[in-house]
């Protein structure tokens, strides 16, 4: 289902190999890169940069969204990512968010009851998709540690159990808003079991 979509957005450089592709597909048109990932997984890009390029190669010639101007602390590491992509002559295309857009988006969601310190990447990308796409389908937005149907334990992401920073984000509140949009037919939340495609 994901691979058949006209435009696929993925959040925070998720893995698309090692068996995951059977469940999440591989098509990617836009992938986000949270600066926290650059800090924690790629040593702020002050040393070796090839590991980042190997990671980005799995997304082909998609766009990578760098939030260089969202917060001052993100600018330097996002610019290092941009220069790395340019230096390695990668097929991936770096793009930036307009900080004015992020500010107005935050004000919009705040006026609709989302009072968290920072919007999650998921809500930001859902907002962008709702502005640009006729049909929006969301996968992986279940914010709880127990499956909604089988009640088995779940990790936070399909590939790791790194928890969100609750000082900044309130995933259950975000989910409540997304669920309301689902009920209104504005978007479609997919919460069922993954059904791998047989190759």
How many angstroms separate the first and last alpha carbons of the chain?
13
Q: Is 190 a catalytic residue?
A: no
Catalytic option among 112, 147, 169, 182:
169
**Number of neighbours of residue 70 by Cβ within 10 angstroms:** 23
Pairwise CA distance, residues 21 & 41, whole Å:
21
Pairwise CA distance, residues 64 & 35, whole Å:
12
Torsion sign (Cα): 19, 2, 143, 63: positive
Lateral strand order in the sheet of 9-10: 9-10, 30-32, 63-66, 93-96
Measure CA 46 to chain center: 24
What residues are annotated to the active site?
A: 169
């Amino acid at each position: 289902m994901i691979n058949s979509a006209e435009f696929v957005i993925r959040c925070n450089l998720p893995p698309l190999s090692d068996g995951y592709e059977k469940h999440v597909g591989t098509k990617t048109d836009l992938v986000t890169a949270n600066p926290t990932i650059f800090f924690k997984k790629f040593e702020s890009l002050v040393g070796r940069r090839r590991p980042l390029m190997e990671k980005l190669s799995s997304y082909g010639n998609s766009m990578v969204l760098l939030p260089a101007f969202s917060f001052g602390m993100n600018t330097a590491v996002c610019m290092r990512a941009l220069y790395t992509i340019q230096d390695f002559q990668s097929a991936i295309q770096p793009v930036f968010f307009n900080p004015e857009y992020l500010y107005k988006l935050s004000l919009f969601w705040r006026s609709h009851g989302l009072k968290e310190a920072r919007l999650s990447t998921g809500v930001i990308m859902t907002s962008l998709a709702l502005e640009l796409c006729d049909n929006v389908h969301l996968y992986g937005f279940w914010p709880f540690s127990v499956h909604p149907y089988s009640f088995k334990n779940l990790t936070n992401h399909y590939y790791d159990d790194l928890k969100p920073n609750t000082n900044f984000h309130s995933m259950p509140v975000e989910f409540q808003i997304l669920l309301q949009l689902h009920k209104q037919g504005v978007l479609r939340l997919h919460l069922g079991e993954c059904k791998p495609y047989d190759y």
